[in-house]
Amino acid sequence: MERILICSDIHRCTENFLQAMREADPVDRILIAGDIEAEKEEYEQLTGLTPLVMVMGNCDFYLGSGLPLTAVFTVEGKRFFMTHGHHYGVGYGRPSMLVEDAKAKKADIVVFGHTHQALDETWDQIRFLNPGALRGDPKSGRCSYLILELDEASGKMDVQFRKLGILPDAEQDRTVDVDTRQVEKAMREIAKGRSVSQVAEKLSIPRRTAEVICRIVLTHPGISADAVMNKIGL
């Protein structure tokens, strides 16, 4: 059995992605259907050893990250076809071009994004899933993702759409209890390509603290330890 986190349309809202990972934990695999607006290596580092599949969205072209436009792979006996959807004219209603390409690829499950609206439909015996957007639906402002559980042995396929939760006030306001020396150590670990979990374990600090440090370092190349401390209010 595999438990998969599926999300899309992050649009630089890395903290929302990290929060979705916390809420969904544990997962066996992560799928991101484009419009990440961040370097591929940043997300590979954030997800650590968890298998990650990403495709390019229409807002990712300028990064030169080498993300593919489509991905085809198999999980628990189900053939996946993932794409952002902008090349298929996805919008409201049945995405005819996407359906035809999915049939040609013999897909069982199609994952796409672009519309910022959650969708779970079956067309021509193929399951089409859009997790919505971690940036938010332009009409409702809802930030969403989905959890897909698959079990080849039993034939189970469970789709759970989730609205991104709000961190408790105590979590949002909690002081990050680290000093400059620990931040310097964290920065060295990040430079070695360590994941958030590995940094937290190596320094014996909360995962939430490691997430904050990693996000600041990865989005501010060349930043000093003192500057990191300033940004997290210490």
Please tell me whether residues 63 and 83 are part of one structural domain. Answer: yes
**Model confidence pLDDT, tens digit, residues 25-43:** 899 999 999 999 888 888 9
Q: Among 130, 163, 196, which residue terminates a domain?
A: 163
Residue 212 has φ and ψ, to the nearest 5°, of: -60, -45
Same structural domain, 23 and 55: yes
Domain count, the chain: 2
**Average pLDDT for the chain:** 86
Same domain, 137 and 40: yes
* CATH number reported for the structural domain that contains residue 98 in this entry: 3.60.21.10
Residue 193 banded pLDDT, cuts 50, 70, 90: confident
Q: Are 6 and 151 in contact (CB under 8 A)?
A: no
- What lies within 8 Å, CB to CB, of 216 at 6+ separation is 223, 228, 231, 232
Is the pLDDT score of 8 beyond 80?
yes
- The verdict on 44 and 70 lying in the same domain is yes
pLDDT of residue 167: 40
Does 148 share its domain with 173? no
Query: Six-digit token pair at 182?
Result: 């620990």
Instruction: Please tell me the chain's helix, strand, coil percentages from 3-state DSSP, rounded to the nearest 5.
Output: 35, 25, 40
Q: Are residues 157 and 61 in the same domain?
A: yes
* Structure tokens that stand for 187 in this block: 């920065």
Q: For residue range 92-125, what is the model confidence (pLDDT) as tens digits?
A: 788 999 999 999 999 999 999 999 999 999 999 9
Query: Is there a single domain that holds both residue 11 and residue 114?
Result: yes
Q: What pLDDT, on the 0 to 100 scale, is given for residue 27?
A: 94
**Among 163, 198, 215, residue at a domain's last position:** 163
**Is the sign of the CA dihedral 179, 185, 191, 194 positive or negative?**
negative
Residue 110: give the domain boundaries: 2-163
Q: Are residues 215 and 147 in the same domain?
A: no
Q: Tell me, yes or no, whether 117 and 50 share the same domain.
A: yes
- Domain-terminating residue out of 139, 163, 187: 163
List beta partners, residue 128.
Answer: 110, 121
Instruction: Categorize the per-residue pLDDT at 64 as very low, low, confident or very high, splitting at 50, 70 and 90.
Output: low
**CB of 134 within 8 A of CB of 145?**
yes
Mean pLDDT of 197-212: 81
Shared-domain flag, residues 210 and 135: no
Q: Are residues 159 and 176 in the same domain?
A: no
Task: Please indicate, yes or no, whether the overall pTM of this predicted structure exceeds 0.75.
Answer: no
Whether residue 68 sits in one domain with residue 23? yes
